[in-house]
């Protein structure tokens, strides 16, 4: 179960990296009205937040198996209070981006609390080091997206250069996830599975 949890968070994390890195370009293509373009500053935080949200859902499974879901009441209560405080603190200063940051931080908190609440439940010990590596890659992707988007918006980088740099960042982070998170046998099985699908 711990290994499947790692795989689930890895899959969501790698998929989210595409959204995080190319969110600005997607908004520019999909938002015909330029007033929608300011949403690009929200996307990295929202997409990263949902990776933490996926981790929270993974953390609940042992509690369901052990029939100790009462702990989730306290976890969610703390998260609600934290979210209210963060929204009150950040929205007046940062507007819509403040709301996205508050959501991301709340999801990170609820994931951490979920992991804490589920430890030693149903005999499941999650792979914290591998999960931390995945989350680090997602956070790095978010930081890179905000930096590249800021440069492009300020005229310090062309759209083509920004897209190229983001593509390189995505490939690097995806490769990092493949080599740093997956073990040798897991990489071999994944290559074999992908090869079989491609041959079909």
Q: What local confidence, expressed as pLDDT, does residue 158 receive?
A: 93
Q: Interior CA angle at 150 toward 148 and 155, to 5°?
A: 95
Per-residue CA distances from 40 to 101, 153, 200 (Å): 13, 11, 38
For the chain, how many structural domains are there in total? 1
Phi, psi of 78 (to 5 degrees): -60, -40
Q: What local confidence, expressed as pLDDT, does residue 29 receive?
A: 86
Q: What local confidence, expressed as pLDDT, does residue 123 receive?
A: 86
Residue 35 lies in a domain: yes
- Asked whether the beta carbons of 130 and 6 are under 8 A apart, the reply is yes
Residue 37 lies in a domain: yes
**Cβ contacts of residue 146 below 8 Å, gap of 6+?**
41, 44
Q: What local confidence, expressed as pLDDT, does residue 34 receive?
A: 77
Q: What local confidence, expressed as pLDDT, does residue 54 receive?
A: 96
Q: What local confidence, expressed as pLDDT, does residue 52 receive?
A: 97
Q: Tell me which residue range forms the domain holding 91.
A: 2-194
Q: What local confidence, expressed as pLDDT, does residue 170 receive?
A: 97
Q: What local confidence, expressed as pLDDT, does residue 144 receive?
A: 96
Residue 200 lies in a domain: no
- Asked whether the beta carbons of 121 and 62 are under 8 A apart, the reply is yes
* pTM of the predicted structure, to 2 decimals: 0.90
Q: For every one of its 200 residues, what pLDDT tens digit does the chain have, with 9 covering 90 and above? A: 899 999 999 999 999 999 999 998 888 888 778 777 778 889 999 999 999 999 999 999 999 999 989 999 999 999 999 999 999 999 999 999 999 999 999 999 999 999 999 988 888 899 999 999 999 999 999 999 999 999 998 999 999 999 999 999 999 999 999 999 999 999 999 999 999 999 98
Encode burial over 124-158: b for 16+ CB neighbours within 10 A, e otherwise: bebbeebbebbbebbbbbbebbbebbeebeeeebe
Residue 27 lies in a domain: yes
Residue 38 lies in a domain: yes
Q: What local confidence, expressed as pLDDT, does residue 86 receive?
A: 98
Q: What local confidence, expressed as pLDDT, does residue 122 receive?
A: 85
Per-residue CA distances from 53 to 48, 49, 107, 114 (Å): 9, 6, 5, 10
Residue 199 lies in a domain: no
């Amino acid at each position: 179960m711990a290994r499947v949890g790692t795989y689930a968070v890895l899959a969501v994390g790698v998929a989210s990296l595409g959204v995080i890195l190319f969110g600005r370009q997607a908004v520019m293509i999909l938002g015909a009205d330029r007033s929608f373009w300011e949403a690009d500053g929200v996307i990295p935080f929202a997409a990263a937040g949902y990776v933490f949200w996926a981790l929270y859902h993974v953390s609940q499974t042992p509690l369901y198996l052990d029939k100790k879901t009462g702990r989730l009441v306290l976890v969610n209560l703390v998260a609600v209070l934290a979210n209210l405080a963060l929204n009150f603190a950040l929205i007046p200063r940062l507007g819509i981006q403040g709301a996205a940051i508050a959501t991301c931080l709340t999801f990170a908190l609820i994931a951490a609390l979920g992991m804490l609440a589920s430890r030693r439940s149903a005999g499941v010990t999650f792979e914290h080091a591998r999960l931390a590596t995945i989350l680090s890659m997602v956070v790095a992707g978010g930081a890179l997206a905000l930096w590249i988007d800021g440069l492009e918006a300020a005229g310090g980088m062309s759209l083509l250069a920004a897209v190229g740099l983001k593509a390189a960042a995505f490939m690097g982070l995806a490769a990092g996830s493949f080599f740093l998170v997956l073990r040798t046998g897991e990489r071999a099985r994944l290559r074999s599975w992908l090869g079989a699908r491609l041959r079909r």
